[in-house]
Amino acid sequence: MDSAPVVRIRGLVKNYKDVHAVRGLDLDVPRGSLFGLIGSDGAGKSSTMKTVAGVMGYDHGTVEVFGQAIDSEAAAERIKLRLGFMPQGLGQNLYPDLSIEENIDFFARLRLVKADDLVERKEKLLRMTRLDKFRDRAMKNLSGGMKQKLGLVCTLIHEPELIILDEPTTGVDPVSRRDFWAILAELLAEKGISALVSTAYMDEASRFHHAALMHHGRILAHGEIEELIHLQPGTVVSVAVQPQLEALNRLRSRFEQVVALGNFLRVFVPAQDASADEVVKDVLSGLEVSEVQTDTPELEDIYVGLLESSGDGQAVRDLPSPPEGTVIHLDPDRPVIEAKNLVRDFGAFRAVDHVSFDVRPGEIFGLLGANGAGKTTVIKMLTGILRPSDGAGSVAGADMRHSGSTIKKRIGYMSQAFSLYQDLTVVENIRLYAGIYAVPPKEVEPRLRWIVDLAGLEGMEGALTGSLPMGLRQRLALGCALVHRPPILFLDEPTSGVDPMGRREFWDVLFRLSRQEEVGLLVTTHYMVEAEYCDRIALMHAGKVVAYDSPAGLKSDVEGRFGQLLEVRCETPYKAQNVLRSGGFDDATLHGRRVQVLAPDAEKVKTQVKSLLERAGIPVHDIRRLPLTMENVFVQNVLDLEHKAGMAA
């Protein structure tokens, strides 16, 4: 077998006018590997992938694919037959007016696939992706997950040796995402295809064999996933402690990485002699510690740790104390938001279906769901922008059906459509919002300083908003939403496109707002990992709330109903997955080089799995229990719901 890498990059530099997208990048993609490029928006992933696919020129360095230097259009042409490329954007490269089958046929004809091969491959791929029932449906009428699978089929139809997938899972619901990874893993294992796949979701790293962590056009670290985890040896300690703010400050003074996740504080403790939980308890001595858990670190911990040691990290800061002035006071014992059986229909389509929940003062409440689950519609109804078709609700003590204008004065709203004026400076934007919310003129100056301080924008007051990095813009937008000191804040997908560091800083501000200022926060997000930051969550799917509890409560509920998550490390993982599936573990899925199964009775299942695999001649290295993620919680709840709906029908 040829052991030369399929892609070899040295010193790649790519600039767009003044923007330095890639700044000297080295990368090797081994043959047969499922290789992940992991990084946030603007890290340089797309630029790198486009140069590899030969669809974009670059400024310096060498890019070799299959040993062929890609240095001209003619050179790039020579490798394109062996390459499949799926650009970023869900279904953006497909043709909306063509049906599934016509889209596939077009790609096949462009690639000169022989008619017989086409029929055979098309049927197989359509069957695997379960798109065969919809083959005549126009692409524009497909759901996000289906578009993404169709894109994959079109990329694979000429059986390339290397496929390049640019953020194939962005904006896709967790169930479809899981499905996509399973199909991809299966196809790659079967055909021995190499794949270069980018993602902005850190939690998807476990899907890859190898990965490179990218930041600001450079690679922070790369290697096998297990190696990456060990780059920053340490333990993660989660601790439930009161009072939280005091504990947070103490831990911050001692450890680099401390985040507040609902009732828990999560600390990354670098490897040392003493046991990690003892060290943490020691720091917190005198405080009321109710629960301590230890876990292995996740890739995000490593990523943030690497950023901090490379000097790109930013010091965490205390929330500035707010200026004196007019503040809206609410009854501290009543929920700040109450939704009772909210319904909203758009024509025959029920976007929101009997949604109920409440948000208490000083609580971070998460509305979690995929795109199109109805989150934004709920927020629009609660803020008085949209009338509900049925149901009731109160916000800030006012009835949402009649007191729209009262509500608008008492809430802050930061929308997913970026609400700042890009051509105004930082200060001009803040003044504009102060004007809109009728902040008394005398109070504008102190609040302006407070917001600049809160958003960490000192020295950038005169900068045009459009020129700020995404993370800073988000915090400025947050500041503008707080200019009238509302006791309730609605945040609609506030962290889309922000890198993990920026996200942590943003959530840190939210946490302090909730605990220090007792602001009630309603946050929507489709990042499953972000749900961990919330005190309580409502999981939304297809307009309904399918689960409603604290993250820990949701996890233990899923564990109780479906079992614990086991990870099997063994030889030939793809074969192992199939053995387990035919042995009764239907939900066995391939994650990189490991297989995951849900086990109602962990000990019994461990022995079952082991004997099943060993009987099939597959040596097992290790079976261990994994903590459930919010993604597992979401997927299990939705699958269970769909299963029940299927049974009923």
Partner 1 sequence: MNWARFTAVIAKEWAEITRDRLFLGLAFIVPPILMVVFGLGMNLDVEDIPLAIIDYDHSPQSRDYAYRMIDSRYFDFKGYLHDERQIAKLISRGDVRAVVVIPPKFGEDLVAGRAVAVQTLLDGQFPLRANIARGYIGAINANYSQELIANFLSRAAGFSPDQARQQMGNLRIEMRMLYNQSGKSIWSMAPKLIMMVLMMTPPLLTAVSVVREKERGSILNIYASTVSRAEFLLGKLVPYAGISMVNGVFLWALAVFYFQAPFKGSFGFFLLATAIYSFTTTGIGLLVSSFVKTQIAAVVMTMVVTLVPAILFSGMLFPLSSMGPEAQAIAHLAPAMHYGQVIDGAFMKGIGLEKLWSSVVSLLVYALVLFVLAHRFFTKRPQE
Question: Shortest gap between Cβ of 2 and partner 1 (angstroms)?
Answer: 23
| Long-range contacts, 442-451 (Cβ 8 Å, 24+) | 443/323, 443/325, 443/326, 446/323, 446/324, 446/325, 447/323, 447/325, 447/483, 447/485, 449/323, 450/320, 450/322, 450/323, 451/476, 451/479, 451/480, 451/482, 451/483
Nearer to partner 1, 51 or 577 (CB): 51
Question: Shortest gap between Cβ of 502 and partner 1 (angstroms)?
Answer: 25
Does an H or E element contain 327, and which? none
Question: Shortest gap between Cβ of 40 and partner 1 (angstroms)?
Answer: 20
Nearer to partner 1, 13 or 316 (CB): 13
Question: Shortest gap between Cβ of 93 and partner 1 (angstroms)?
Answer: 5
Question: Shortest gap between Cβ of 158 and partner 1 (angstroms)?
Answer: 8
Residue recorded with tokens 């990690």 = 276
> CA 585, CA 37: separation in Å to the nearest integer?
31
Question: Shortest gap between Cβ of 152 and partner 1 (angstroms)?
Answer: 14
Other residues' Cβ atoms within 10 Å of the Cβ of residue 133: 10
Nearer to partner 1, 113 or 426 (CB): 113
Residue recorded with tokens 């974009």 = 56
Nearer to partner 1, 106 or 421 (CB): 106
Nearer to partner 1, 106 or 418 (CB): 106
3 alpha carbon, distance to own chain's centre:
34
- Dmax (CA) for the chain in angstroms is 79
Q: Which residues have a Cβ under 8 Å from the Cβ of 210 and sit 6 or more positions away?
A: 29, 30, 33, 34, 35, 36, 222, 223, 224, 225
Interface residues with partner 1 (CB under 8 A) are: 16, 53-57, 72-73, 76-77, 80-81, 83-85, 87-89, 92-95, 97-98, 102, 106-107, 109-112, 138, 154
Task: Decide if 60 contacts 97 (C-beta within 8 A).
Answer: no
> CA 187, CA 574: separation in Å to the nearest integer?
10
Task: Decide if 396 contacts 328 (C-beta within 8 A).
Answer: yes
What is the secondary structure of 5-36 as a DSSP string? Answer: -SEEEEEEEEEETTEEEEEEEEEEE-TT-EEE
| Long-range contacts, 431-438 (Cβ 8 Å, 24+) | 432/480, 433/480, 433/481, 433/483, 434/483, 434/484, 437/409, 437/483, 437/484, 438/484
Nearer to partner 1, 102 or 399 (CB): 102
Nearer to partner 1, 139 or 483 (CB): 139
Does an H or E element contain 144, and which? helix 144-156
Residue type, 193: I
Nearer to partner 1, 95 or 574 (CB): 95
Question: Shortest gap between Cβ of 59 and partner 1 (angstroms)?
Answer: 9
Other residues' Cβ atoms within 10 Å of the Cβ of residue 138: 15
Task: Decide if 592 contacts 195 (C-beta within 8 A).
Answer: no
> CA 370, CA 174: separation in Å to the nearest integer?
7
Question: Shortest gap between Cβ of 161 and partner 1 (angstroms)?
Answer: 14
Task: Decide if 367 contacts 522 (C-beta within 8 A).
Answer: yes
Nearer to partner 1, 122 or 512 (CB): 122
Nearer to partner 1, 98 or 287 (CB): 98
Does an H or E element contain 558, and which? helix 551-562
Q: From residue 352, give the alpha-carbon distance in Å to each of 1, 168, 346, 356, 370.
A: 55, 28, 9, 10, 14
Nearer to partner 1, 139 or 211 (CB): 139
Question: Shortest gap between Cβ of 11 and partner 1 (angstroms)?
Answer: 18
Nearer to partner 1, 56 or 470 (CB): 56
Question: Shortest gap between Cβ of 102 and partner 1 (angstroms)?
Answer: 6
Tokens of 318: 């205390």
Question: Shortest gap between Cβ of 68 and partner 1 (angstroms)?
Answer: 14
- Which parts of 358-469 fold into alpha helices (H)? 375-382, 404-410, 426-436, 441-455
Question: Shortest gap between Cβ of 35 and partner 1 (angstroms)?
Answer: 18
Measured distance between the N- and C-terminal CA atoms of the chain, rounded to whole angstroms = 51
Kind of pairing between the strands at 210-215 and 34-38 = parallel
Among 375, 387, 381, 374, smallest CA distance to 337 is for: 381
Nearer to partner 1, 121 or 178 (CB): 121
Question: Shortest gap between Cβ of 188 and partner 1 (angstroms)?
Answer: 19
Nearer to partner 1, 21 or 267 (CB): 21
Question: Shortest gap between Cβ of 212 and partner 1 (angstroms)?
Answer: 22
Hey, is 462 helix, strand or coil? coil
Question: Shortest gap between Cβ of 407 and partner 1 (angstroms)?
Answer: 38
Nearer to partner 1, 165 or 609 (CB): 165
Looking at the DSSP assignment, which residues form a beta bridge with residue 289? 241
